[in-house]
Structure 1
């Protein structure tokens, strides 16, 4: 029996300022920023499914995601695109194949939203 599970636990996102990143991501996801910053550099976003840890200790310009390492789900890609546009998020693509688009977070990480 293999001791390694075929599951993803947590994705770490490098961020410059942990408090600013916490507030930005919590607002983006519509969740309360009421958890504590751990060890002065980690914030665990309250997620359904796979976790996301914002981590200012691992941040450097070379460490940011230059391609999406995962995507956020949406039930309506057009609504999600307009929501991001309205928030003045840096959009990198239009909606591609009626399925997904990419954007940058304030730290330069390239992320994706995809309709499930």
Structure 2
């Protein structure tokens, strides 16, 4: 038995302005703006399932833009791409292989939206 659970508790995204990032991500995901900011630099965007998205402005060291660290799920990649563009995402790429596209958030972090089956659970 392990003291460490096989579960991801949160995915961190570095941001330069916690309030702006909080409101952008919540709007991007169809949520109302606002929500609690912890310790003056952290906001957890609740997800429908799985890990929370942890926005953190402490120690922001510039964008993470080499490869996406995670992806948002979708069942309609083309509608999701339109939503990303409407939300003001930058460098929105084309839908690739009919399943995913990448874009940058307001801090320049490279993100992805994909229509892929969920990972197996054990």
TM-score higher than 0.5: yes
**For this pair of structures, how many residues does the alignment match?**
115
Deviation at 1:65, TM superposition (A): 4.4
Distance 1:11 1:58 in 2: 16
1:31–1:46 Cα contact (<8 Å) kept: no
Matches for 1:37-48 after TM superposition, within 5 Å: 37-48=37-48
Q: In 1, are the aligned partners of 2:74 and 2:80 still within 8 Å (CA)?
A: yes
Q: For 1:53-103, what per-residue CA distance to the aligned partner results, in whole angstroms no more than 9, with x for missing partners?
A: 100003112x63431111000110011112222334213421011000100
Runs ≥4 residues deviating over 4 A: none
Scaled by the length of structure 2, what TM-score is found? 0.86
- 1:10-29 maps to which residues of 2 (within 5 A)? 10-29=10-29
TM-score (norm 1): 0.90
Write out aligned runs for 1:29-108 (5 A).
29-48=29-48, 49-61=50-62, 64-108=64-108
